[in-house]
Amino acid sequence: KMNFLVIDGASDKICFFSYFNNNSYNKSYESSKNNFEKFSILLFDFLNQNNIKLNKLSHLFVNQGPGSFSGIRTSIAVAKGLSIVNKLNLYGFSTHDLKSTNYMDIIFLYKKGHLTKKLIKPLYLS
């Protein structure tokens, strides 16, 4: 299986999920102004605590909404930056694509070709 990272800030929680070296890791935080301001720090803490190496990941998946404006903007900006710097394949998925936020389902969606590649279009709730 491939090593990947999911960044999801679209809902009422900020969620990070990674499948790395045949293990899955996840962490969630409250969606708050304070946490959006330190979003990158939270993400790097998650990666470091679980010994997840960005240069060993092949794919990065980000929730493009619909959902929270601040969460989606922050998630997409961080994901785009990480994908450029680390040469990761970046894909966007929709909140509606996941049933009960089971992030392993993203691999199924990826293999079926149901994810947006590169051009991530945010979908904000009005």
Residue-wise pLDDT tens digits, 3-37? 999 999 998 999 999 999 999 999 999 999 999 99
Q: What is the DSSP letter of 91?
A: E
- Rounded to whole angstroms, the Cα distance separating 8 from 118 reads 16
Residues of the chain by 3-state class (helix, strand, coil), percent to 5: 35, 30, 35
Q: Which residue has the tokens 């900020």?
A: 14
Contact (Cβ atoms closer than 8 angstroms) between residue 74 and residue 46: no
φ/ψ of residue 3, rounded to 5: -90, 130
Q: From the CA atom positions of the chain, what is the Rg in Å?
A: 13
pLDDT at residue 126 greater than cutoff 90: no
- Rounded to whole angstroms, the Cα distance separating 106 from 47 reads 19
Output the pTM of the full model. Answer: 0.92
